[in-house]
Amino acid sequence: MEEIDFGEIQQVLDEILGSGMDFRQMVSQGMQGENLLSVKNLGGLLQRIFLEELLAQKQLWIHILILAVAAAVLLHFADVFHNKNVSHISFCMIYMLLFLLLLTSFRSSMEIAGEVFGHMRDFMTVLAPSYFLAMTLTSYITSAGVYYEFILLLISGVRWFMEAFIMPCIEIYVLLLLADHLSKEERLTRFTELAEMVVQWSLKAALAAVMGFHLIQGVVSPAADAFRNTAVSQGIEMVPGVGDISGSVADMVFGSAMLIKNGMGAASLIALILICLVPLAKLAVIMAAYYVLAAVLQPVSDERITECLSGMGNAVKLLFQAVFTMLVLFLLTIALTTALTGR
């Protein structure tokens, strides 16, 4: 274990999570089969994040609530105005203020998602050399080469996929949604549905592609390495005099390396979950708040306002799905790689 340098991994984790996680210690605990994650502490952390995010967003929700009620008052008492255009223009002004508030709120949600994308990418970039070095020590050399190339491709591919395609599609969805509800006639509904469908199906396609690679590659490379390891081990044992001792030593070395690799895999899974835990919780709170506001305002406010708030909840849900999908892609890659090369 001393041959593997965890310094760069620890430095990245300290920058992201602070100094509360010791990666080397977690690897050691994983090697010994100890519990790496406390459900009680995790529940307390989620509760604290939930309350903090509600307090942080409280002022924004109050402003949205006031604007929605004001728009409802103008529309419900439109008969007071002799000119109906006065009511319509007033509503448009209030809606534009709401438009700016929602764009500002959504920009903060985009920043949360973009930040966690960068954190996961940085962690996987520094993890890959050490993890696959540990894999080569287990004599899974072919698998280490294949999976190392794949994970580098996955890191760069996911970066482009999320930042250059998924995020712009979600932004387009939000702009179409807000523009569509400016008038009573729905003219852009099909475009917003198309943008939402493109994002959802693209995320599913990325997940299916990664799963397909592991299903195909998991049948070939680990089997070839396992056959070679068996042949080498049996060849050593056939040497007269020292064969049995040498074979036992080789098995012990390979077994120790396997424990290190598996411990690194388990610690990496926990690290990825902790990296994404806070951003996912924040996005979940924002999404839930939009849905609650839409439900509360529906009896009193204009339908365009409530539909807009509900659509913003869907937009934040798309961000949540994008972050969660990226997390699942990396979790599956580490978990399946560790499992398939652990025989």
Q: What is the DSSP string of 27-68?
A: HHHHHTT-----HHHHHHHHHHHHHHHHHHHHHHHHHHHHHH
Q: Is the pLDDT of residue 320 over 90?
A: yes
Note the pLDDT tens digit of each residue in 32-63. 656 655 555 566 666 666 776 667 667 777 77
């991994």: which residue's tokens? Answer: 9
Pick left, alpha or beta for residue 18 (phi over 0 → left; psi -120 to 50 → alpha; otherwise beta).
Answer: left
Q: Looking at 156-165, 250-259, 280-289, which range is the least confident one?
A: 250-259
Q: Is the pLDDT of residue 183 over 50?
A: yes
Torsion of CA 214, 339, 26, 273, to 10 degrees: 40
Note the pLDDT tens digit of each residue in 187-203. 778 888 888 899 999 99
Structural domain boundaries in the chain = 103-340
* The most confident of 79-83, 155-159, 252-256, by mean pLDDT: 155-159
142, 224 contact by CB (below 8 A): yes
Closest CA to 53 of 322, 342, 276, 285: 285
Q: Is the pLDDT of residue 305 over 90?
A: no
Confidence class for position 247, pLDDT limits 50, 70, 90? very low
Helices (H), 77-186: 84-137, 141-160, 167-180
Q: What confidence score (pLDDT) does residue 84 get? A: 58
């020590």: which residue's tokens? Answer: 137
HSE-CB at 45 with a 13 A cutoff on CA atoms is 15
